[in-house]
Amino acid sequence: MKKVRITQILLFLTAFAIISCSGDDDSVDSTSCDNPTNFKLEEYNNASEVILSWDTDPSDDSTYEIEYGLTGFKQGDGVIVTAITSPATIKGLNFNAAYDFYLRRACTDATSEFVGPATNTPGGNNVSFALMTANIAGVQYNNMKPFLFGQTDATRVVTFSGTNENFLAIQGNSAFMDPTFENTKEINLFIPQSQWLPGTYLLTDTATSSGNAQSNVNIIYNDSSTPTTQAYEEEDGSITITKFDLQERVVEGTFEFRFKLYYVDSGTYSEILECKNGTFKYSLDASFFD
């Protein structure tokens, strides 16, 4: 029995030695390719071109891969370009759109992890941003922005029939970068110019009442189980403007309202649902404010 056991041990040690040698000769050590450092966006000309830079060593013969796409894109689905030296210029971007850029080193036998993102800021010297949050029918949404934000402004100025007053349009879409008919929740707020100052105002479903402009809301509520629905505001809500600053070019506030869903196929209505704890903070980047 002892001889058998010693033989087994010797076989195990021999196999271990062979595996170890094989690993030394053939395997790729991913840690041998260090991540790039000091990756940043150097210039953005507010049109369709950015310049990116990172630290390099003159003796390093690595190449680099840059992956990019509209802000919020899923890595692996972006555009990949190869760069030899820093800085690198990326051209042909959508005009005045926000992009995320990632960088990794490509060594002889391995690649590093991606670092980033470095992100450009559309809107010239003005920081263009948009963020709406709301609890809609019991579900919290914390990252609602205008449809295809980055290719569109954060805010718009529109008019409605029945009044000559301008309205500030603020939109929050739950799937702003990859919208589909199903599972899309969208809130559109319209604030008349007479209410472009701090205060709490009635939030209705119509732009005018007795000839007076008023804040109003439109909600789109689609669900994969009931895609043919229409949402209607059931009761007047409220909107509070906490900040409207033309120097900082920003509008902030809160809102709430109640609504029903109309199921087109059956011709029936849902129970009353709530949209509560709504918040918004948006750039006043519409050309109206230039």
For residue 56, what are the CA distances in angstroms to 22, 43, 83, 88? 33, 18, 12, 12
**What's the average model confidence in pLDDT over 134-161?**
91
pLDDT interval class at 281 (50, 70, 90): very high
What are φ and ψ of residue 3, in 5° steps?
Answer: -65, -40
Contact of 46 with 123, CB cutoff 8 Å: yes
Contact of 117 with 36, CB cutoff 8 Å: no
**What's the average model confidence in pLDDT over 248-268?**
91
Number of CB atoms found within 10 A of residue 19's CB: 10
pLDDT at site 47: 56
Q: Do the strands 229-245 and 199-203 form a parallel or antiparallel pair, or are they unpaired?
A: antiparallel
Q: How many helices (H) and strands (E) does the chain have?
A: 1, 20
- Please give the model's pTM, rounded to 2 decimal places: 0.59
Q: Do the strands 155-159 and 63-70 form a parallel or antiparallel pair, or are they unpaired?
A: unpaired
Extents of the domains making up the chain: 30-119, 130-289
Q: Is the pLDDT of residue 52 over 80?
A: yes
Q: Which of 69-83, 96-110, 133-147, 219-233 has the lowest mean pLDDT?
A: 219-233
Q: Is the pLDDT of residue 124 over 50?
A: no
**What's the average model confidence in pLDDT over 256-263?**
92
**What's the average model confidence in pLDDT over 223-243?**
84
What are φ and ψ of residue 286, in 5° steps?
Answer: -60, 145
What single DSSP character describes residue 124? T
Beta-bridge partners for 191: 168
Sign of CA dihedral 106, 112, 113, 118: negative
**What's the average model confidence in pLDDT over 195-202?**
98
pLDDT at site 172: 96
More confident residue, 229 or 267: 267
CA distance 54 to 85: 9
Q: Is the pLDDT of residue 252 over 60?
A: yes
The CATH T-level fold of domain 30-119 is Immunoglobulin-like (2.60.40)
pLDDT at site 95: 61
Tokens of 93: 């971007």
Residue that is written with structure tokens 């701090």 in the block: 198
Average pLDDT value over all residues in the chain: 83
pLDDT at site 282: 95
CA distance 243 to 147: 23
The per-residue pLDDT for range 76-111, each reduced to its tens digit, is 999 999 988 899 999 888 766 789 999 999 988 899
pLDDT at site 20: 40
pLDDT at site 233: 83
* Preceding peptide of 227 cis, ω within 30°: no
Tokens of 213: 């402009």
Sign of CA dihedral 170, 175, 181, 184: negative
Tokens of 156: 């718009």
pLDDT at site 15: 39
Helix (H, G, I), strand (E, B) or coil at 31: helix
Measured torsion, CA atoms of residues 177, 181, 183, 184, in degrees rounded to the nearest 10 = 50
